[in-house]
């Protein structure tokens, strides 16, 4: 499947905005990405295996809240850094 990486995290993927990943769940996909791009998962997931508060993950356009979400080989995953400020 294709994972779309936000510009703020592209230093981990050698500036690639789209990378291929494998896994049956979102957790497995992030583990696969971290194996290939060390440190990437920690920027997205907390030590308690939850999605960081400032991150959003979408699978085929639908926002997901849990890592156990099943994914299929042709899915599109978008990782987005939420904006904040005042």
pLDDT in tens, 29-50: 999 999 999 999 999 999 999 9
Strands ordered across the beta sheet of 62-64? 18-20, 2-4, 76-81, 55-59, 62-64
Stated as kind and residue range, the H or E segment containing 38 is none
Please check the confidence at residue 86 and state whether its pLDDT lies above 60: no
The whole-number pLDDT of residue 82 equals 81
The CATH number given to 2-81 is 3.10.20.30
pLDDT in tens, 15-25: 999 999 999 99
pTM of the complete model? 0.91
């Amino acid at each position: 499947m294709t994972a779309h990486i936000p510009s703020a995290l592209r230093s981990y993927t050698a500036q690639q905005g789209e990378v291929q990943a494998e896994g049956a769940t979102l957790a497995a996909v992030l583990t696969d990405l971290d194996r290939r791009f060390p440190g990437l998962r920690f920027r997205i997931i907390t030590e308690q295996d939850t999605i960081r508060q400032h991150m959003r993950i979408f699978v085929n356009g639908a926002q997901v809240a849990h890592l156990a979400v099943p994914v299929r080989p042709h899915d599109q995953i978008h990782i987005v850094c939420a904006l904040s400020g005042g």
